Amino acid sequence: MDTSNNTFIMVVFAIYLITMLYIGWWGMKKSKDAEGYFVANRKCGTWLSIGTFTGSFISAVAVLGYTGSSFTNGYMTMINVLGCVFSFYLIYFCFLQPIKGRFNNLCTIPELFETMYGSKSMSVVTSVATVALFVATLVSQIKGGSLICADILGLDYKTSLYIISGVFILYTVMGGMFSVVYTDLIQTGILVVGVVVASLFAVKMVGGVPAMNETIAAVNPIAMDPIGTVGGYWGMISTFISFGFGIAATQYYLIRIYSAKDMKTARRMVSGSCAIYTVVGALTVVLGICSKLVVPDAAVADSAIIDLSYHMPLVVRALLLVGIACAIMSTTDTILLAAGTYVGRDLYRMVRPDLTERQSVKSTKICVVIIGLISGILALNPPELIIQLTTFTTGVTASGFFAPLFLGFYWKKTTREGAFTGMLGGIIIAVLWQLFVDSPIPVAGVGVALSFALTIVVSLLGPKSHIVLLPPLKNDL
């Protein structure tokens, strides 16, 4: 590749990284107390909220994972995208109003479980299980960021990993949620522009959409049979269940509801993000198919889009690559902050009941650094396909947390014992099913069904002394 072209992209990428660090420093000055550090003082307006929610959703999975999957399987990946879109509807109609209207004084989902069910055990299990899932997700994000950094800077994977990990750990630990929401807004904007412009050039490169479909059908026949490739209608339903319920119960999305300044903003946040994600998700599938036609011999499916970028004009390539980095970093900082908060605030106060808010911020910052470093070490030897880790984590998340949340919000007979049993049973079956069972039945389908059944049966047949506690709904937010 031309040296001057490479230098231009390196400069753009360096400016991007420096900007993220500057916002982290700026956020540190704005985060003067625990409310500021954990939930940005609950004052995020419409655009900030949409930017951070969308940025959290569009991750390494949505860009590298989906392009890698469509590179291999064609339009089947569109079913994954639609499964994610389904999760937006679940969040909007099932979780948004109860969280914002009843529990807006809280900062995390483990706190919500503890308040709703009066159970510290549920808070501990939620925190421990979720942090483990967060670390697995961080590994996939760091892998994606390192691949992009290695390509842009011409470095090896390990050195790129050190750079990417260092940057996102620094700006996250400095400013907390203030840094995260503002960096997410900028990164989401760059990402959307990069994906849209690159898609237009990629489609033109292969002769237009009709020519693209005709050629991919000849080169990779399964690409035009999404339902057959995913395993028939049952496979399609299983994908919707796994991605829909799993993502809807993913806690680093739900805590964004706390940060929105009011209910109207929260609703705009979810609906606006859904629209943006639908467009970007569909375009990543198109980019993956174009990659198959332009660079059919790409060594690694997840990096096919990077190979494709070499065939684009310099400015478009820079936009695309930096946009992909933005997608990865905007999700990584969200997950890292949530994981650090769960350990440094929710778990630590179990052993330090007298923990002050100021101390909780300090302990969270320490945990952010530790968890970031652990995830970086694990990312030195990640799985080949990013989407594999995501499928595992969404399956466990759906199975463990959706039913206790949903039933707690909408079924007044739910008990502490029922919810705890449903949570624990769902997590265990989801992990064991994915590790030891080879079946076309989706783990999320089995896990969610079991979790609902356990929660309902134990609530009906078990002790009735600990019924779910729901604060009054505040409609004036």
CATH number at residue 293: 1.20.1730.10
CB 306 within 8 A of CB 149: no
Residue that the structure tokens 């072209």 belong to: 5
Write down the number of H helices and E strands in the chain: 23, 0
The answer as to whether 353 is a domain residue is yes
In a domain, 324, yes or no: yes
Give pTM, 2 decimals.
0.89
Q: Is residue 325 part of a domain?
A: yes
Q: 317, 293, 367: which is closest to 337 by C-alpha?
A: 367
**CA-to-CA distance for 75 and 73, rounded, in angstroms?**
7
Q: pLDDT tens, 11-48?
A: 888 898 899 889 888 888 888 788 888 888 888 999 99
Closest CA to 220 of 281, 284, 288: 288
- C-alpha of 424 from chain center: 22
Q: How far apart are CA 14 and CA 19, in angstroms?
A: 9
Q: Which domain holds residue 195?
A: 3-31+53-385
Are 83 and 434 in contact by the 8 Å Cβ rule? The answer is no
Half-sphere CA count of 442, side-chain side, radius 13 A = 28
Whether residue 336 is contained in a domain is answered as yes
CA atoms lying within 13 Å on the CB side of residue 267:
9
The domain tally of the chain equals 1
* Beta pairing partners, 415: 467
d(C-alpha 421, C-alpha 396), whole Å: 15
Q: Is 40 left (phi over 0), alpha (psi -120 to 50) or beta?
A: left
Nearest to 242 by CA among 462, 383, 430, 94: 430
In a domain, 37, yes or no: no
The closest alpha carbon to 169, from 158, 159, 179, belongs to 179
Residue 458 lies in a domain: no
Helix (H, G, I), strand (E, B) or coil at 450: helix
| pLDDT at residue 384 in the model | 58
Distance CA 74, CA 286 (A): 9
Widest Cα–Cα separation across the chain = 72
Helix crossing, 357-378 with 314-341: angle to 10°?
A: 130
Which residue, among 412, 415, 407, 393, has the nearest Cα to 94 in the 3D structure?
A: 407
Query: Is 419 a domain residue?
Result: no
Let me know: does 291 contact 308? Beta carbons within 8 Å.
Answer: yes
Determine the Cα–Cα distance for residues 183 and 314; give it in Å rounded to an integer. 25
Q: Distance between alpha carbon 429 and the CA centroid of its chain, in Å?
A: 22
Q: Which residues of the chain have pLDDT under 70?
A: 1-5, 60-61, 382-389, 440-441, 475-477
pLDDT for 1? 46
Does residue 390 lie within any of the structural domains? no
Q: Measuring CA to CA, which residue among 110, 111, 105, 115 is closest to residue 41?
A: 105
